[in-house]
Amino acid sequence: MKIENFTIDNNSSCFIIAELSANHGHDIEIAKKTIKSAKECGANAIKLQTYTPDTMTIDCNNEYFKIKKGTLWDGKTLYNLYKEAYTPWIWQRELKEYAEGLGLICFSTPFDKSAVDFLESLSVGAYKIASFEITDIPLIRYAASKKKPMIISTGIATLEEIEDVIYACKDEGNSKIILLKCTSEYPAKAEDANLKTMYDMKNKFDVEVGVSDHSLGIEVPTVAVCLGAKVIEKHFILDKSIGGPDCEFSLEPKDFKYMVDSIRNVEKIIGNVHYEKDNGSNKNREFARSLFIVKDMKIGEILTEENVKSIRPGFGLKPKFYNNILGKKINKNVKKGTPLTFDLIN
């Protein structure tokens, strides 16, 4: 699967997404500085969110629309939260062009069909479905019908709902699906990550997987890569003093770069499946055991357990030949410490 020029498969490096979200302080220049910093920190992509308060909810302050579940946003109405957090659509073409000029991929999360239409006009290379939209099958079908890769967070989803999403995408002729394990808490506790679920999703649904992480550290994404994650999404903020609804669980540049560097080091450690030895291992094979003459011998003498031993270093025959050579005769005079080779044996 490719997201624009980035290939995602078993042998690829991890696709690291910096989530801009609400971390722009309603200032496009801050948004641009954040995008530039994300590139400098090693991100592969910057992700926007495409909605307005009116495409997300209605302006209503009855009990149904007030946030009161022990979150960072308790006391706000949904409408006012989204009014504070949204990224103006009028910015998004400019931000996408700016990001692409820096070599970043830029795409977005649509929250309704009008957002998909808008993002199609920008020619985005993928769609991200947020955790709380995973039950919106009509939206998912519409986005999937555009035949772009679908990156889908599973934070609130049951197994049945994940199955529904997979079916909806494939029914639209789109099998380019990436499922992200996500803990829909803000911030999330690392111990609630349950990354074995991510690994299980990969095997159960035969899709690429990753993590959308809202924890405060970098352990969750780093461990996820060890378990096969090919996409990591993390909220990114230029400076937490900017404030905003998502700043508390967003990484500043220093920590984001540390995460990227850690992931890249983990990828080097994981490597690929191969049984050929690297240069260092080949060089050190000389310290392996091999068969050596351990007493001076004259031509015609018989090789025995007394004059041939398996010892270090590794310049003689492999020890697996030991029983085969016992009882055979040496064909020249040899000194103690001579590697035993087949050309010394009759």
**289-316 residue pLDDT tens:** 999 999 999 999 999 999 999 999 999 9
264 plus 318 within the same structural domain: no
93 plus 209 within the same structural domain: yes
Query: What average pLDDT does this structure show over 174-201?
Result: 94
Q: How many structural domains comprise the chain?
A: 2
134 plus 238 within the same structural domain: yes
Residue 132 domain-assigned (yes or no): yes
CATH number of residue 314's parent domain = 3.90.1210.10
- Say which residue, 188 or 177, is predicted with more confidence: 177
- Of 132, 220, 143, the closest CA to residue 177 belongs to 143
295 plus 248 within the same structural domain: no
DSSP-derived pairing of the beta strands 308-311 and 290-293: antiparallel
101 plus 182 within the same structural domain: yes
Q: How far is CA 151 from CA 109, 112, 134, 180, 344, in A?
A: 9, 16, 11, 7, 65
197 plus 307 within the same structural domain: no
Q: What percent of the chain shows pLDDT beyond 90? A: 88
Q: Among the three residues 236, 270, 304, which one is the final residue of a domain in this structure?
A: 270
- Say which residue, 92 or 285, is predicted with more confidence: 92
What residues are paired with 46 via a beta bridge? Answer: 18, 106
Residue 119 domain-assigned (yes or no): yes
Q: Among the three residues 207, 235, 270, which one is the final residue of a domain in this structure?
A: 270
Residue 155's domain comprises 12-51+86-270
pLDDT of 68 > 90? The answer is no
Q: Among the three residues 270, 289, 322, which one is the final residue of a domain in this structure?
A: 270
Residue 148 domain-assigned (yes or no): yes
255 plus 112 within the same structural domain: yes
91 plus 234 within the same structural domain: yes
198 plus 333 within the same structural domain: no
CATH number of residue 196's parent domain = 3.20.20.70
Residue 6 domain-assigned (yes or no): no
262 plus 337 within the same structural domain: no
236 plus 256 within the same structural domain: yes
pLDDT digits (tens, 9 = 90+) for 169-178: 999 999 999 9
Q: How confident is the model at residue 181 (pLDDT cuts 50, 70, 90)?
A: very high
Query: What average pLDDT does this structure show over 59-82?
Result: 87
Residue 338 domain-assigned (yes or no): yes
226 plus 323 within the same structural domain: no
Question: Could you give the CA distance from residue 233 to residue 210 in angstroms, rounded to a whole number?
Answer: 8
Residue 79 domain-assigned (yes or no): no
Q: How confident is the model at residue 73 (pLDDT cuts 50, 70, 90)?
A: confident
Question: Could you give the CA distance from residue 325 to residue 308 in angstroms, rounded to a whole number?
Answer: 9
Residue 7 domain-assigned (yes or no): no
Query: What average pLDDT does this structure show over 188-194?
Result: 93
Neighbour-count burial of 58, counting CB atoms closer than 10 A to its CB (0-12 exposed, 13-18 middle, 19+ buried): exposed
Residue 312 domain-assigned (yes or no): yes
